[in-house]
């Protein structure tokens, strides 16, 4: 089966980079676009969209900063209309679980007339190794708001494997896949798994939400990102997403990757290796 160019919006993100590398390994031509590429793509500048879309027949969409923000629904609807007019046939949209705003954007895709897939993912395990939590892990203490619920953390490699399957297998189109890891875990349990993998102790410290947000601002994180984290920890970690879902097995015929496997694999890359931090 031959495949024409697949558009990847967000080719340097946790999932977009993995999707791109898998498609390349399979011999599939891709076009990864962001604000920094040529052609460029900016969700806030619709004038950048036509050149990015032109000549592609399928797309993997990630939305910045988050699909739950109010303008996402409008942008997804406009993108789909433009894509359909350009001959693009199929969109795989990465979404989150339990987010009202994201569900509106998902529906815009379903109503577009394009072939579609919605991939609803739980919290990425890679947030501990490829994002703002990385330095805290290396320092041996992760500070989070008190009272967070359990979460079935998903490995981004599983998300990428599913996304590629959806992009390449017509029989999987027009379906929603909810992706989680195989077991709900507390953040404290995650720290134990990471401690076992790295060989030094990493502890969880819980603080009031106000203190947590103040620390994020002191670290210089953008206010929009701080607001997203506040929403995450006050709403999405209220227990609504504590259950596991079978999306990985439904798409790939195999179980989702356990967090312990993710932790060992991440540790093996040296990402958590300490240099100037004395072991506790």
Residue 213 corresponds to which tokens in the numbers above? Answer: 């947000």
DSSP code of residue 172: G
pLDDT digit string, tens, across residues 243-272: 999 999 999 999 999 999 999 999 999 999
Q: Which domains does the chain have, with CATH numbers?
A: 6-121 (3.40.50.720)
Global pTM reads 0.94
Q: DSSP characters for 11-51?
A: TTSTTHHHHHHHHHHTT--EEEE-TTSSS--BTTBGGGHHH
Burial of 207 (0-12, 13-18, 19+ CB in 10 A): middle
pLDDT given at position 1: 38
Name which of 263, 264, 242, 246 is nearest 255 in CA terms.
Answer: 246
Q: Is residue 72 a contact partner of residue 99, using CB atoms and an 8 Å limit?
A: no
pLDDT digit string, tens, across residues 150-188: 999 999 999 999 999 999 999 999 999 999 999 999 999
The pairing of beta strand 30-33 with beta strand 90-96: unpaired
As a whole number of angstroms, the distance between CA 179 and CA 277 comes to 35
């Amino acid at each position: 089966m031959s495949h024409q160019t697949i558009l990847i919006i967000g080719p340097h993100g946790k999932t977009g980079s993995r999707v791109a590398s898998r498609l390349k390994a399979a011999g599939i031509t891709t076009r990864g676009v962001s604000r920094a590429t040529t052609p460029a793509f900016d969700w806030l500048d619709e004038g950048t969209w036509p050149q990015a879309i032109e000549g592609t027949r399928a797309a993997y969409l990630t939305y910045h900063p988050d699909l739950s923000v109010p303008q996402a629904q409008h942008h997804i609807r406009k993108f789909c209309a433009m894509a359909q007019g350009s001959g693009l046939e199929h969109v795989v949209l990465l979404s989150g679980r339990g987010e009202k705003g994201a569900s509106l954007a998902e529906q815009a895709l379903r109503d577009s007339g394009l072939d579609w897939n919605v991939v609803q993912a739980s919290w990425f395990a890679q947030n501990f190794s490829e994002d703002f939590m990385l330095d805290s892990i290396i320092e041996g203490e992760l500070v989070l708001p008190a009272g967070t619920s359990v979460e079935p953390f998903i490995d981004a490699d599983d998300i990428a494997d599913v996304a590629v399957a959806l992009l390449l297998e017509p029989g999987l189109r027009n379906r929603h896949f909810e992706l989680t890891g195989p077991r709900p875990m507390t953040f404290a349990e995650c720290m134990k798994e990471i401690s076992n993998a790295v060989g030094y102790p990493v502890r969880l410290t819980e603080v009031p939400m106000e203190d947590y947000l103040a620390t994020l601002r002191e670290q210089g994180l953008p206010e929009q990102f701080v607001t997203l984290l506040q929403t995450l920890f006050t709403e999405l970690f209220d227990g609504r997403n504590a259950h596991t879902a079978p999306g990985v097995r439904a798409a790939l015929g195999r179980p989702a990757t356990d967090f312990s496997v993710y932790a060992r694999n991440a540790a093996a890359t040296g990402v958590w290796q300490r240099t100037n931090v004395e072991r506790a």
